Chain A
Amino acid sequence: MSRWLRGTTIRKGGSSNGSSATRHSTPQVQSTSTTIFGGGVKDPSGRTSEYFSMDDQCPVCKSDRYLNPKLRLLVSACYHKMCESCIDRLFTLGPAPCPICNKILRKLAFTPQTFEDLDVEKEVAVRRRIAKEFNKRREDFPDLRSYNDYLEEVEDIAFNLINDIDVAETEARIAQYKIENAAIIEQNLQREEQYAQYLKEQEEADRLEREQRAAELKKLEEEEREEKEKGRQELIDKLETSDKDVKKLIARSRAEAMKRAAARIITPALRSTSHLLRSRAAQSTAVPDVPHVPLQDDWYAYEDKFTLRDDYDDPVSDAVRKDREGIMRAGGYRVEEAWERALRFAVAGLDVRPLQGLRSEPPPASTSQDVVMTAA
């Protein structure tokens, strides 16, 4: 409420230290427009820090910070600066040409400025965009040579885009690459996400562990102190009341204290779950997890050698099939399985060579593999 009374409006984007008393401390950036501009370079906490200078002047309307203390300059897609009021004025009615270079611009495509030099701003943006798609890693290449070639090519593309050389051709190259490597790009994106997730988890785990450790330590100290106090009190009481040998009493109380101390040490310092989780997470990046492969052996069930019919004239299974009350079926028994088994056993021996008469020739490798149990 007091803030409202002081007339401070809520700031958008940009960090500031509050007071703008001195000329060169970071003054407040106050937005005049209702649009929230995205983009810009984010710091680790996720906020964009904006470049800001007292000498700012809007190249379009020539208004400067002296005339308009709330002046905020934003950068267009063609890397030209202009102030928020100009943006509102020019682009609120839809896409319009840039007053400096005539490129068609949209209101939402303006970003806050992070770097003083707009060339740097552009390079960072281009490299960020490139890195998103050209995200192959060393392990995606058979040898170092091809990886280096790839890096060279990425550098080439980045250079072209930054310096506006053959933009159309370069864009075509990127599109081509994107189509060819869609799967790898997607996979590496996922990997990066996982890694980011892992970092976040680890940070959280670290914090938790620190807290837990501190709490444990405090508790332990407390207990120790209490015990000492109790032991001393007990000894005093005993010495006071009992008429036993003082020497013995003191020796016993010492022994007890010793025992307690030893017990404390033995109590396994329970390693916190966060610690365990962290040690698990630490190893999880060492060996990569591979996608699930349903069956990992050479499954062959002779399925190409027979077709199972719906019904057979089978006296053995009559009892099961006449199971009118469904007792057998309720247990999950299926006659079809019996038929399939019989058929599979019948065809399993078809390709096996006879054991006799072929002594000179070793049996073919395929039959020696025990993939499917043969009819014994």
Chain B
Amino acid sequence: MDAVEKANAERQRKWVKDQKIGEGTYAVVYRGRELSTGRKIAIKKIKVGQFKDGLDMSAIREVKYLRELKHQNVIELLDVFSSKTNLNLVLEFLDTDLELVIKDRSLVFLPSDIKAWMAMTFRGLEFCHRNWILHRDLKPNNLLIAADGQLKLADFGLARDFADPGYKMTCQVITRWYRPPELLFGCRYYSTAVDIWSVGCIFAELMLRTPYLPGESDMDQLKTIFRALGTPTEEDWPGHTKLPDYVPLGQFPKTPLRDLFTAASADCLNLLNKCLVYDPKKRISAKEALNHPYFFALPYPSHPSKLPKPVKKESHIIIEEVEGNVDFSGPGPGVKANPPNKLKRKLSDDESEGKRSIARRLDFGQRGSS
């Protein structure tokens, strides 16, 4: 065993893998713990074998960027080790994600909750941008929530550094519903503004409790955006008609956000509006957003520990049963067979009825006719 293998084995010994909790296209996620402290962790096992060119690109990206970033609102990469042919990323364990929170209809969001989530998202994003990293896949699903309520950006599989003039970047990034118009128009040189658009969509989704711009295809996505925010003019967004994949999509009028977000405050809509500006250059930056009056106005952002969280499945059921006043002595839904003594009694009952079946039938008939 050479030194590298030895070091790797040593690292591996520090972590214990428990059960599998999820599977993605290129990785399996396990719950685990740190052997020495018992701290809960997640191990992301990356399947190597199926890629011809060795490691999958997203795995490399994830390791490359997460190793550099340490911030309270960015998921922490604790360790990396290999086992057999697999690469294992040890990440901090986070309970839930924002998508589950949004979808849980039993939760009620206060305006202060949304403010707190937005502040944490912008803080994490600002840190990435400050360190010249674009996340490029922001969506509620990738905003994980820790036990103490802190929101953390996760899944850096599409992240990359930016501001390098030598290289074009791909426009096939960001989940469609959160993809900004410049990427849909095939722009190959872009910047931090792409992430801000995604955050704007998440912001709207938090208020609506349903995706804000759910396009069915890339073309439909553009139409959906224009329907919601109006078709951009050359004045709104200089140069957009010259973008590689530009197609005219017809004119849609601009409707004020107020029509859809009836309950939002003026500050809130102002910030949302600034996140969803067509011209990427005029879109608000993460740092500017954090200094927006929306965050300073009352109500203050909720304390992270008070933010709503989906209830765990097991405990949920128990609560329901108690609330529904279940009579535990009677046969519950899960009980298929009656207890033996009960069964016997029932049978004898039926037998005695059976002897006089005809008479009873006549009885019923009479009752029905009278």
Determine whether the beta carbon of B242 is less than 8 Å from that of A294. Answer: no
Known contacts A294-B290, A332-B283; A327 and B244 CB within 8 A of each other = yes
User: Which 8 A/B pairs are nearest by Cβ-Cβ distance?
Assistant: A332-B280, A331-B187, A326-B239, A330-B239, A333-B189, A294-B290, A337-B163, A317-B165
A290→B305 CA distance, assembly (Å): 12
B30 interfacial contact with A, CB 8 Å: no
A267→B89 CA distance, assembly (Å): 42
For chain B, the count of residues having a C-beta within 8 Å of the partner chain is 79
Known contacts A289-B303, A296-B72; A325 and B239 CB within 8 A of each other = yes
Contact residues in A for B108 (Cβ distance below 8 Å): 273, 276-277, 280
Nearest CB of chain B from residue A217's CB, rounded to whole Å: 11
Determine whether the beta carbon of B326 is less than 8 Å from that of A265. Answer: yes
A251→B345 CA distance, assembly (Å): 13
Chain B interface residues toward A at CB < 8 A = 68-72, 106-108, 110, 112, 115, 119, 123, 126-127, 130-133, 162-166, 182, 187-194, 237-240, 242-244, 279-281, 283, 287, 290-291, 295-296, 298-303, 305-306, 308, 320, 323-327, 331-333, 346, 350-351, 353-354, 357, 360-361, 364-365, 367-368
- Indicate which residue in A247, A294, A341 contacts B354 across the interface (CB closer than 8 Å): A247
- Indicate which residue in B70, B291, B333, B350 contacts A247 across the interface (CB closer than 8 Å): B350
- Indicate which residue in A240, A268, A325, A330 contacts B368 across the interface (CB closer than 8 Å): A240
Contact residues in A for B127 (Cβ distance below 8 Å): 297
Known contacts A265-B326, A331-B280; A320 and B189 CB within 8 A of each other = yes
A338→B296 CA distance, assembly (Å): 32
Known contacts A265-B333, A320-B165; A373 and B350 CB within 8 A of each other = no
Contact residues in B for A316 (Cβ distance below 8 Å): 165-166
A325→B238 CA distance, assembly (Å): 10
- Indicate which residue in B131, B133, B190, B308 contacts A331 across the interface (CB closer than 8 Å): B190
A301 interfacial contact with B, CB 8 Å: yes
Determine whether the beta carbon of A288 is less than 8 Å from that of B303. Answer: yes
A250, A266, A287, A289 pick with most chain B CB within 10 angstroms: A289
A373→B132 CA distance, assembly (Å): 8
Question: Apart from A262-B331, A330-B182, A334-B281, what are 4 other A-B pairs with CB-CB below 8 Å?
Answer: A287-B306, A289-B302, A294-B287, A338-B163
Nearest CB of chain A from residue B287's CB, rounded to whole Å: 8
A-B contact pairs, 10 of them (CB 8 A): A250-B350, A268-B324, A269-B324, A280-B306, A289-B299, A320-B189, A325-B239, A325-B242, A335-B165, A370-B70
Contact residues in B for A269 (Cβ distance below 8 Å): 320, 323-324
- Indicate which residue in A247, A258, A372 contacts B331 across the interface (CB closer than 8 Å): A258
Determine whether the beta carbon of B303 is less than 8 Å from that of A290. Answer: yes
Contact residues in A for B300 (Cβ distance below 8 Å): 289-292
A283 interfacial contact with B, CB 8 Å: yes
Contact residues in A for B119 (Cβ distance below 8 Å): 292
Residues of B contacting A: mostly: loop
Contact residues in B for A327 (Cβ distance below 8 Å): 187, 189, 239, 242-244
Determine whether the beta carbon of A297 is less than 8 Å from that of B72. Answer: yes
Determine whether the beta carbon of A376 is less than 8 Å from that of B165. Answer: no
A contact residues, range: 35 or more
Contact residues in A for B112 (Cβ distance below 8 Å): 289
Contact residues in B for A365 (Cβ distance below 8 Å): none
Residue-wise, chain A 257-300 has the 8 Å CB interface mask toward B (1 for contact) of: 01000110111110101001100100110111111101111010
Known contacts A277-B108, A291-B300, A331-B188; A372 and B162 CB within 8 A of each other = no
A352 interfacial contact with B, CB 8 Å: no
A246 interfacial contact with B, CB 8 Å: yes
Determine whether the beta carbon of B165 is less than 8 Å from that of A329. Answer: no
Contact residues in B for A263 (Cβ distance below 8 Å): 333
Contact residues in B for A236 (Cβ distance below 8 Å): 364, 367-368
Contact residues in B for A370 (Cβ distance below 8 Å): 68, 70
Contact residues in B for A291 (Cβ distance below 8 Å): 296, 300
A82→B303 CA distance, assembly (Å): 54
